[in-house]
Amino acid sequence: MVHYSAEMLSPWWEESRPSDRPLYTDGVSYQAYYSEVGKAHHMGKDLTEVRSPQRKLVPDKVGLEKYEPTSLRGIAIKSKERAKHRFQNLYRCLNYRFLLSCWAELNKNAASGVDRVTAEAYKENLEANVKAQAKRLKQRRYRAKLVRRCYIPKENGKERPLGIPALEDRLLQLACAKILSTIFEADFVETSYGYRPNRSAREAIEDLQFNLQFGKYGYIVEADIKGFFDNIDHDWLLRMLRERIDDAAFLSLIRKWLKAGILDTDGKIIHPESGTPQGGVVSPVLANIYLHFALDLWFEKRVKINCRGNAFILRYADDFICAFQYRDDARRFYYELPERLANFNLSVAPEKTALLRFSRFHPGMERRIVFLGFETYWMEDSSGAVKVRQRTARKKLQGACRRIKEWIKENRHLKGREFIKALNRRLQGHYNYYNIPGNLESIWRFYFWALECAFKWLNRRGGKRKSFTWRIFNKAIELLGIAKPKMRIVNRQHRVFA
């Protein structure tokens, strides 16, 4: 009987014989590599799963490996480090796993498209549906569906057209929007706030107040782009995207959504020659990229450099405002702006474009500017110091009061706790946006208006009048816990537009 020692029984990949073969980097020998191969063979693994010693020693850089789909982290790193890099193989990122992760971020409460497929119905067979869509993308058989058009009323009495894509189109648009946002986030200027991560309209308002208060600016140019989303030039937009993207298959998806037919409310199909539908998931990112090249870079590299004094532009989506130190710089920009926008198939609304004096030496509400739902103006405080103040714009406050009145009138049949809970959601939504330092008075006006409307219409439930007094009403809402305005303190560092 043959006896085997422990060394003879040990697997051959664990043998530690000295090797005279040359070493890899950091002292890793060929023997270490072959040990990995033998171990994989013993465990029944495919030899392609074995990693070379070099790759084992280098930390993983997600998305930077050759011939592998680029991850969002890898895109962000490369976009920041290489400003002129053009990304390839982005189309391969649109795989099953990525689409499934985007499903978790998709708005499930949005209206359905032309196919009338809801999120609940799609979720019943989610994995199979996403796999089928990923397969169509891989086989280049994807076709964009028609966009369903609907209209929502505006505060000025007009209607705003919205385009609602089908559910699968929205899912794919979200995936592409995440990729586009990751690529161009490193390129966007500091004064751009719209549709960017970790930025909000309220931050834009607060930074505007800070820079006007402590900066050297005396003139403001207000401008409004007429029908911006409807007049985006498709050729210009694709040319802008090619500055950072070298992937024909990925760009073809963008073109399909731009050229997708629109099913109007009267049943007619419109084939757009320009514009991107408001309501599409990818439209905000595309609009931001368009104005980045058409407006932001022009201001930073041409207008600002040629100014005699300080100047800055603050933009949120298609709403922007420009501040200048000297009048001649402001006038030159005021007259050059229409020509610049005309090159990109855009135009300004003359009735909403103005050049005004805005200085601490001319305080008062007569020289106020309206931006993102707020009125900004210079005013003396109780101590006599002149400061930049902000409050809710008059039209926005009137519109909010009208909407809360209509809601209370339509929902006065709800029970007490249910009514207060639903009312608190609407009150808190108003507070979350408009509660900035110095605007507490407008917030309280909205709150007291909501109380008056609630007292009036709750007293008329069941055809009765004066079923309770103000004293009983106040006790009831205090007991049920109505949301009240609170002073908000800003403790973040403001962005300085030097």
Residue 257 lies in a domain: yes
Residue 218 lies in a domain: no
Q: What are phi and psi of 370, to 5 degrees?
A: -115, 125
Total number of residues shown for the chain: 498
Range of the domain at 98: 76-191+227-282
Residue 215 lies in a domain: no
d(CA 401, CA 454): 12
Residue 485 lies in a domain: no
Single out the residue in 282, 308, 323 at which a domain terminates: 282
Residue 275 lies in a domain: yes
Partners of residue 220 on adjacent β-strands: 323, 356
Residue 37 lies in a domain: no
d(CA 498, CA 220): 16
What the block records as the tokens of 21 is 């073969």
DSSP label at 294? Answer: I
Q: What does each of the 498 residues of the chain score in pLDDT, given as a tens digit?
A: 444 333 333 332 233 333 333 333 333 343 443 344 344 444 444 333 334 333 333 333 333 333 333 588 889 899 999 989 999 999 999 999 999 999 999 998 888 888 888 999 999 999 999 999 999 999 999 999 999 998 888 777 778 888 899 999 999 999 999 999 999 999 999 999 988 888 889 899 989 999 999 999 999 998 889 989 999 999 999 999 999 999 999 999 999 999 999 988 888 898 989 988 888 899 999 999 999 999 999 999 999 999 999 999 999 988 999 999 999 999 999 999 999 999 999 999 888 888 999 988 878 788 889 999 999 998 888 788 889 999 999 999 999 999 999 999 999 888 888 999 999 999 999 999 998 888 999 999 999 999 999 988 888 876 666 677 888 888 888 888 888 888 777 666 777 775
- Measured N-to-C along each axis, helices 440-458 and 394-410 cross at an angle, to the nearest 10 degrees, of 20
Single out the residue in 238, 254, 282 at which a domain terminates: 282
- Which of 456, 441, 439, 450 lies closest to 401 in space, CA to CA? 450
Residue 110 lies in a domain: yes
Single out the residue in 239, 264, 282 at which a domain terminates: 282
- Measured N-to-C along each axis, helices 167-184 and 283-291 cross at an angle, to the nearest 10 degrees, of 30
List Cβ neighbours of 250 (8 Å cut-off, separation of 6 or more): 90, 91, 176, 179
Residue for token digits 């917030």?
A: 443
List Cβ neighbours of 286 (8 Å cut-off, separation of 6 or more): 180, 232, 237, 254, 276
d(CA 256, CA 248): 12
Q: Is residue 148 located within the same domain as residue 277?
A: yes
Residue 54 lies in a domain: no
DSSP assignment of 302-323, as one string?
IITTT-SS-EEEEEETTEEEEE
Q: Is residue 274 located within the same domain as residue 142?
A: yes
229 Rama class: left (phi>0) / alpha (psi -120 to 50) / beta: alpha
Q: How many domains does the chain contain in total? A: 2
Is the Cβ–Cβ distance between 295 and 192 less than 8 Å? no
